Structure 1
Amino acid sequence: MSLHPTLQPYADAWTHSIEAISELLQPLPEAEWNRRTPCPGWSVRDVVSHVIGLDCEMLGDPRPIHSLPRDLFHVTNEHQRYMEMQVDVRRHHTAPEMTSELEYVIIRRNRQLRNESRDPGTKVRGPLGSELALEESMRRHAFDVWVHEQDLRTALGRPGNLDSPGALVARDVLLGELPRVVAEDAQAPRSSAIVFDVHGPVEFLRTIRVDIQGRGTLETAPALGPAATLTLDWETYVRLACGRVSVESVSDRLKTEGDPDLTAAILNHFTVTQ
């Protein structure tokens, strides 16, 4: 049996991003691995360690037995502690060790995907002992690896792939979070509409409608007389939604119209990654 058709886009997105990461790292001198990335607290080495660790978990490998230092300022909750384990255990690995492990993990994951015959709804292991459907696991993984590819590109001054298969997965993942951000977190008024106009390599115009019960829904139809409109480019949208920049640092790339308190509340809750 071959990979289920609904899983293929996520496998393709992962493949594209992981190969791009591998290409970015091949000529990288040892000192460059210590460059800071936009991901809080993480260097290039740390981001690559995280990516390797994620794929090891997708392969079903046991998690490392390791005690985290107490002075990691960027680790503030259990989810972050969980993710940091795969990073800290590799913090002193050399560049050749990192690239060798990455290449081996890629080979193993490609083999796993070629032989993957499970139903998309099959329950698989998730972070912190959780369970989730295989389809959701692969979707999140493709999103995560693409975001970290962008972290590495920013750190190394090698922009690109903002419209890749991974970018399209990221678009759908981030749009899926918007109803909660607007209706629940930002507490947008009931019976209102908020428009997001995003341009650049990935473009979309979406409306979040908040009904009389305060529930938000995502719509493709534009709204007449929205309570607020936010206009920004795709890269800024991603970096804000993934917590890579502050609203203040990209204010020149944002245009807001309508209720200023509402737009401020939305932007204050815009980060959806942990």
Structure 2
Amino acid sequence: MSLHPTLQPYADAWTHSIEAISELVGSLVEGEWNRRTPCPGWSVRDVVSHVIGLDCEMLGDPRPIHTLPRDLFHVTNEHQRYMEMQVDVRRHHTAPEMTSELEYTVIRRNRQLRNESRDPGTKVRGALSTEVTLEQAMRTRAFDVWVHEQDLRTALGHPGNLDSPGAHIVRDVLLSALPKVVAKDADAPRSSAIVFDVHGPIEFLRTIRVDIQGRGTLETAPALGPAATLTLDWETYVRLACGRVTPEAVADRVKTEGDLDLAAAILRNFAVTP
């Protein structure tokens, strides 16, 4: 038995991103681990701690028994508290401790993936004691690790891999969230269409069509006379959708046409990551 073909793209994307992360942080001096990243409240050390911690959970390791400090301003809900546990428990780890644990975790996960023979629909542990399918878990890891690779690249001044295997998975996951963003969160008019024109290392043109019942659907066909059109580059799209920047901070990189109030409402609700 070997990895199911459905799961292979997620394994490949995870491998590509985790190797990039290992290379990025492998030679960092102690002070560089404290650099602030675009991920709210997290340093380079925190991002790597998060990556290590969630891959350990994929391996079935028990979660740390740890009490969070009360003054973590960026932790405001249960999901963030859950994610912060693996981060805070490593906050005082040294650079050699971080790189050695990362290396060991990657070795273990690579071994797990080589021996993975379960069906994509197999139920596994998810966040907050939920159950998700193995496919969902692996897709989420591929998404998460690529986004955090980009956080680290931004913090360390090493841009790249905006069109890597993980980027394509991130594109598909973010696009799947667009109908809700447009139709429900931004309350786009019924029987309307909104176009997203994204350029750069990954390019796409997508339409969200809102039907008479107010439901949004994602289409590849361009719309004639859309209610609004948003044109932006791929990196800005990702940073907005993952909550790394505010619409105001990247206003010069987003071109809006048509109903400007609707476009502004979409951008206000664009962040979809927890």
Q: Which TM-score tier does this pair reach, normalised by the shorter chain?
A: over 0.9
AA in 1 matched with 2:222: P
The alignment yields a C-alpha RMSD, in angstroms, of 0.4
Whether 2:221 is the aligned partner of 1:225: answer no
1:129-161: CA deviation from partner (whole Å, max 9, x where unpaired): 111111111001100000000000000000000
Deviation at 1:260, TM superposition (A): 1.1
- Aligned residue for 1:135, secondary structure, equals helix
Letter in 2 for 1:19: E
What is residue 145 of structure 2 aligned with on the other side? 145
CA distance in 2, matches of 1:124, 1:161: 29
- Equivalent position of 2:272 in the other structure: 272
Q: Equivalent residue for 2:92?
A: 92
Query: Deviation string for 1:148-197 (max 9, x for gaps)?
Result: 00000000000000000000000001001000100110111111100000
Query: What is the SS of the residue equivalent to 1:124?
Result: strand
Alignment of 1:18-33 (within 5 A): 18-33=18-33
Aligned twin of 1:123? 123
Paired with 1:135 and 1:212, the residues of 2 have a C-alpha distance of: 33
Q: Give distance in 2, aligned partners of 1:27 and 1:67.
A: 31
Mapped partners of 2:108, 2:56: distance in 1: 9
Aligned-partner residue type, residue 226 of structure 2: P
CA distance in 2, matches of 1:23, 1:260: 43
Report the 3-state secondary structure (helix = DSSP H, G, I; strand = E; otherwise coil) of the residue aligned with 1:151. helix
**Consecutive aligned runs of 4 or more in structure 1 exceeding 4 Å deviation:** none
Task: Give 1:261 shift.
Answer: 1.1
**SS of 1:239 mapped into structure 2:** helix
Corresponding residue for 1:47? 47
State the Cα deviation string for residues 224-246 of structure 1 (Å, max 9, x = none).
Answer: 00000000000000000000011
Percent identical: 86
Give the SS at the match of 1:255: strand
User: What secondary structure, in the 3-state scheme, does the structure 1 residue paired with 2:174 have?
Assistant: helix
What TM-score do the two structures reach when normalised by structure 1?
1.00
Written as runs of structure 1 = structure 2, the 5 A alignment for 1:103-114 is 103-114=103-114
Q: 1:76 — aligned with what?
A: 76
Match of 1:241 in 2: 241
Matched AA of 1:266: I
Q: 2:105 and 2:64 mapped to 1: Cα distance?
A: 15
Secondary structure at 2:150 match in 1:
helix
Report the secondary structure of 2:209's partner residue.
strand
For the residue of structure 2 that corresponds to 1:223, the secondary structure is coil
Q: Residue 3 of structure 2 corresponds to which residue in structure 1?
A: 3
- Hey, what's the Cα distance between the residues in 1 that align with 2:254 and 2:65? 44
Alpha-carbon distance in structure 2 between the residues aligned to 1:57 and 1:208: 36
